[in-house]
Amino acid sequence: MDLAWLLAATAFFAITLMLLRFVDRLRTED
């Protein structure tokens, strides 16, 4: 398993999770 691939996958997962929380927060405030 390539370390760079694992790091990229982890970063992508973290960014996606943050975006989902941000959208959910906007929907909740609205």
DSSP result, 1-30: --HHHHHHHHHHHHHHHHHHHHHHHHHHH-
Token pair for residue 19? 């975006």
Q: Which residues of 12-25 are buried (b: 16+ CB within 10 A; e: fewer)?
A: eeeeeeeeeeeeee
For residue 18, the model assigns a pLDDT of: 98
pLDDT at residue 1 in the model:
73
The CA distance from 21 to 26, in Å, is 9
- pLDDT tens readout for residues 1-30: 799 999 999 999 999 999 999 999 999 987
Q: Which domain holds residue 16?
A: 1-30
- Into how many domains does the chain fold? 1
| pLDDT at site 27 | 94
